A and B are shown apart, each in its own frame.
Chain A
Amino acid sequence: MRIVAVCGLGIGTSIILKMNAEKALGELGVDATVEAVSVAEIRRSGQDANIILTTPDLAEILVGFTAQIISIEHVFDKQVIKEKLEQALA
C-alpha cells in the first residue's frame, strides 16, 4: 500500500496532509505511512501509488494515475480526511 500526499512543492500543504492522514490511519487501525511529495515527483515516480491525497485544484491536474485520488478542501479537517481514507480503503 503506497499512500502519497501531494502539493505543488512537496514541503507545505502536503506535509500537513501527511500528518493528519497518518493520524487518521492510526485511528482506523491501518499500519501505513504517507509520503509527502511535489507534483513533479508524483509525475516522475507515482505510477505505483495506491492512494493520492491532495487538494481539489491539484486533483484536476493529476491525471493519468491508477491511484484513487482523494481531494481534501480543508487540510485541518481530520474527520473528513479519516472518512475519505476509510472509503478509499474499503
Chain B
Amino acid sequence: MSAFAEGSLAIAVAANNRDEAIIASGQLLVASGRVTPVYVEQMLAAVEEFGPYIVIAPGIALAHARPSEAVLSSGLSLAVLAQPVEFGSHNDPVRLVFGLAAIDHDQHLGVLSALAERLSEPQFVNNLLNASTIEALAALLYLEPAE
C-alpha cells in the first residue's frame, strides 16, 4: 500500500509560477482520492499565510494545508515540473512539488519520515527528476512507513 495512490504522480508538468505548481500537486491529491477540491484552495491559502518556507530543500517543495473535512485520507502526491519555478525561497528554483494530505496530526508521520529519509540522498532526488515514465516514478516512490 503506497502513500502515493494511483493518479497521484505526474511528470513534465507545465507550471508558470508558484500557484500553478501548488495547484498541480493539489490536483493530483484530488485525482488520487485523498482530498476534495476545496483542499487545493486551502493549500494556496497556507502558502499565502506563511510564505515560501514550504521549499524545504533545494528544488523541493512540500505543499499542504491543515487537516480538515476536505481530507478524505492521508497520502502524498508529486508533480515533477517541466520547467523550474521560482517560489521566492532561498531554495529556488523548484522542480519537485510534493502534495501532502493529512487526516490528523499523526497518521501521515511514518510515510513523511520515510520520504524525508529518501530525499536526503541527492541521487534519489536526481532519479526522481530524471524519471521518464509515471511507472518509473512510482517504482522509486514505493515507501515503507518508517518505524
Chain A positions near chain B (C-beta within 8 angstroms): 7-13, 15-16, 19-20, 39, 54-58, 73-78
Contact = CB atoms under 8 A, between A and B. Distances in A.
A39 B113 CA distance: 21
Contacts, number: 73
Interface in B47-91: 49-54, 56-58, 62, 64-67, 89-91
Which of under 10, 10 to 19, 20 to 34, or 35 or more describes the interface residues of B? 20 to 34
Contacts of A12: 54, 62, 64, 100, 102, 112
29 contacts: A8-B46, A8-B49, A8-B53, A8-B54, A9-B50, A9-B65, A10-B105, A11-B100, A11-B102, A11-B105, A11-B108, A13-B53, A13-B54, A15-B112, A15-B116, A16-B116, A19-B116, A20-B116, A55-B53, A55-B56, A56-B53, A56-B90, A57-B50, A57-B52, A57-B89, A58-B50, A74-B56, A76-B116, A77-B57
A16 B56 contact: yes
